[in-house]
Chain A
């Protein structure tokens, strides 16, 4: 069993969101960087759980980014995984990022390719779907559960107002979310071991970007909360009806 886990570097959930250079660039000043939570908590830990069940499993991590992503990749390796591959490319274009991952995936002949459900910075939720199309593999999105039986995977995925159970023959691409696994904290042994795990750097095959970010914008600040006295609920109802026009 070979698993490829896609890892993305994102600003911490509580990071202050601001932009510089005429609102064309994210302000990285003072930002703490983390492993995208969905990549870490759900897809990476799920891969580790599968390896604990079957120790012959090999886990590779892949990230697309500059050298500044290496601390994040080492942190991910401290949780688990046998080796990491960094595709040396800095891009905001999902198409190019997915192409880089597909390039690694083709070489490695993986049985399972995991992504998080989306990254918390660009929220595009594109990579899993795109990689599956590039490799012509089945794609199960927003998975909350996965079990393996030989080369058959049984998965549960979120649908509107419920859950769907499906079976697929490996290899497949899966985007993972809450339910797949429980968050873990790396231990000292893991952190020490991560230092010597292989981290390969490869160059991307050049691909033209299909999209370009022109500018960023912050939403208009809320004009401020209108406080209503606890004993004047008739007034709140009136405001919701006549001012907000939502009921």
Chain B
């Protein structure tokens, strides 16, 4: 059985879980077994609807202590559940909590793990999982040698596959150890899609010359319903908040569309965005290295191009 970990925060299932469920269900199909899901804590979502992503059953450990994330506690509980349910493949989303949890679960199960998987495993001869390495500049095919396999899936690399079905929800009783950390406060930007979960991202660099010029970028983002990001120099200069910084030292993202405005495309920046499906680069310098990594490019003055692009998007939406 393939068991998929449901990641939640604030009583809501995270979007990355839908992709992990779809991926786990596809592995189960490949192995001729069932896919089931594991939820720790309580959420307001309708759990039977998770069947839409291909799981037949949702095992629910409905202990309120598990509403908040504690890596040590969650790892102990998940490993215990895997053993109790006899799962042989355990799938996580390679998101913030998945990164903290999956390797610890692997240790407790004495299982081999591949984090940041980019495609379905090859099970024709053993169990080989391909993952991105060297900050997206290469792939490695890795054989897992142990009876239990743990995989965490790179976000936005498999897609969400859904069809209407329902899953059975079963309460699972697993002892929960005492908390190992005490969460004292949570500081969240309200009303914005977290960058790691955004499918469309508009990003600005030093080419925009100053924080007062961000209006055109925000208008473009609004016309698309996109999240906004920025390069390191921009966040270092406090033109934009630090949580918008994408790149090697900032957040790594893989949206469907990444529009880079006035960003030259240093290798450290590319390391954070090179898994984007489609990259559009707007830059006045035709020699900017970013053009080499782009799908579409516009050479010219961002202060003219960006408002024109916004207008074109609004026009296209109005006629749709």
Interface residues of A (CB under 8 A from B): 11, 13-14, 17, 19, 37, 41, 93-95, 98, 118, 120-130, 132-134, 136-142, 154, 158-168, 175, 177-179, 208-219, 222, 225-231, 233-234, 236-241, 244, 246-247
Contact = CB atoms under 8 A, between A and B. Distances in A.
Nearest to B102: A129
Interface string B15-29: 000000000000000
A160 B184 contact: no
Contacts of A230: 298-301, 304-305, 308
Given A125-B115, A222-B293, A130 B280 contact: no
Contacts of B188: 159, 161-163
Interface string B128-159: 10111111111111111110000000000000
Interface string B238-275: 00001101001110000011000000000110010000
Contact of B294 (A122, A210, A225, A231): A225
What bracket does the count of chain B residues touching chain A fall in? 35 or more
Interface in B272-320: 277-278, 280-281, 291-301, 304-305, 308-309, 311-313, 315-316
Contacts, number: 271
Given A125-B99, A211-B145, A94 B113 contact: yes
B106 interface: yes
A11 B57 CA distance: 44
Contacts of A165: 183-187
B24 to A, nearest CB: 19
A244 B295 contact: yes
A179 B268 CA distance: 17
A218 B138 contact: yes
Contacts of A122: 133, 140
B242 A140 contact: no
B107 A134 contact: yes
A160 B280 contact: no
Contacts of B200: 246-247
Given A124-B116, A225-B281, A233 B305 contact: yes
B186 A162 contact: yes
Contact of A161 (B132, B136, B194, B294): B194
A141 to B, nearest CB: 4
Given A160-B194, A211-B143, A237-B312, A225 B99 contact: no
Given A129-B99, A160-B9, A241 B75 contact: no
A159 B141 contact: no
B182 to A, nearest CB: 5
Contacts of A244: 257, 277-278, 295-296
B62 interface: no
Given A120-B134, A120-B271, 20 more contacts: A124-B103, A128-B103, A138-B70, A140-B71, A141-B71, A160-B96, A164-B187, A167-B184, A175-B100, A178-B242, A179-B242, A209-B145, A211-B144, A215-B141, A218-B137, A222-B295, A225-B297, A226-B295, A230-B300, A240-B296
